[in-house]
Amino acid sequence: MTTTTPTWPSRRSRRSTVEVQFGADRADLLQAALLTGDPPADAVIDEIHERGRHVRVAFNQGIAHGLASLTDPPPAVAALLHHVETTPEYVDDALLDEGSLPFFTKPAAVTAVSLSAGALVRTYQSPSISTVLDMTGRLVEGAPRRLQETGKWLNAAMLPGSMRRGEPGYVGTLQVRLLHAAMRRLARTRGYDEAAFGAPINQVDLARTWMDFTLTSLKAEQAMGFDITTKEQDSLYRYWWYVAHVLGVEPNLVEGITGNAEAQRVDDLLQSVTGPLIPQASTLTAATIAAVAERLHELQNVPPAAATAALRALTRRIHGRELSGELSVPEGRLADRLVAAAVPVIARKRAKLRADPVAWQEEQRRNIDFARQRTTAPDSPTGYEHNAAA
């Protein structure tokens, strides 16, 4: 277990390089972010280990019913809930009820692809995140489960009204936050090298993952013919500010972003300290593509072999041929051509659908209903639900 962390992690570029590219102020911001996990959530996990199960019970009651429902709450739980319940000034009923609606302008199968071939594949490019997954036993064998769990959380968080206090999206997001803290603590007991990578699941990693659910997913959907308007981008990004607040992402890293162009500039900053790929990234990418191919078979009855070829083609289209090669995604020229031919057809159909307001609203309603069914369907507890209840 590493006990001493340098002022700048050795495998996260160099401070001097960041200063040249982005300036000293941005270097200061990144340095603090690389060395910081999530102190309020980390304190709750420490309190659970020190004081026992009643802390976890208080946490669960507090996220479901609010801090005011607790009598003499454990100090760390009280501090976390006080922070989360101090609602940012930009949050209002319109944001909570309507801000996420653009998310539901495309079918669940498209979300599954943008989440996997888009967001998760890029998340695994982070050597620190891949290392944590490897250390905590959630690498290849956990890929299908991780995809299902991430999809369940994402749908719950995006459902209109679901990020209100005590609602499923809010509760699930805080459970995910506590799971991150538990993984952070576990990684530190298993030899995670903070001198090389910074704190496990640090603020750069969290903000970069936030970008994967926003910028990367939106670009992935656009690459498939499912673009959204500038106004819809603005709405989604503002909604994601609040998700970041509940999830424990520092606001100075993501708040203020209202579109892909702004997000790209911040993402370039985060990418400058992500670090080089490690072998686990290719393993995770292959496992994720296999898992979502099976998911597409379930959702759309797509033959697994065809789904795999299409997903590899989409991965290359989303992330570029060079990076896809580094991730060991096999070439497939026929699949590339077929996907390239399909995208403009999809885009034209989408434009026609958008031109009919009634049909457009009905499409959103169907997608919302499907997401609600998926998030409320009985199944075994997710990893984040299990961790919160353990």
Domain extents for the chain? 15-35+87-389
Q: What is the mean pLDDT of residues 111-117?
A: 90
- Helix, strand, or coil (residue 1): coil
What was the pLDDT predicted at 154?
Answer: 96
What was the pLDDT predicted at 137?
Answer: 63
Residues in the chain: 390
Residue 65 has pLDDT above 50, yes or no: yes
Whole-number Å distance between alpha carbons of 218 and 224: 10
- Within 10 A of 353 (CB to CB), how many other CB atoms are there? 13
What was the pLDDT predicted at 276?
Answer: 83
Whole-number Å distance between alpha carbons of 295 and 290: 9
- Tell me the pLDDT of the chain averaged across its residues: 92
Tokens representing residue 285 in the block: 């990418």
Q: What is the pTM of this model?
A: 0.94
Residue 66 has pLDDT above 50, yes or no: yes
Q: What is the mean pLDDT of residues 288-316?
A: 88
Whole-number Å distance between alpha carbons of 279 and 155: 30
Residue 200 has pLDDT above 80, yes or no: yes
Q: How confident is the model at residue 140 (pLDDT cuts 50, 70, 90)?
A: low
Residue 222 has pLDDT above 60, yes or no: yes
Residue 5 has pLDDT above 50, yes or no: no
Helices (H), 255-300: 260-271, 279-300
Residues 80, 91 contacting (CB under 8 angstroms): no
Residue 2 has pLDDT above 50, yes or no: no
Which has the minimum average pLDDT: 29-38, 183-192, 257-266?
Answer: 183-192
Q: What is the mean pLDDT of residues 363-377?
A: 92
Residues 147, 291 contacting (CB under 8 angstroms): yes
Q: How confident is the model at residue 269 (pLDDT cuts 50, 70, 90)?
A: very high
Greater confidence, 37 or 144?
A: 37
Tokens representing residue 356 in the block: 């009919």
Residues 74, 47 contacting (CB under 8 angstroms): yes
Residue % of the chain over a pLDDT of 70: 97
Whole-number Å distance between alpha carbons of 352 and 341: 18
State pLDDT tens for residues 156-188: 999 999 999 999 999 999 999 999 999 999 999
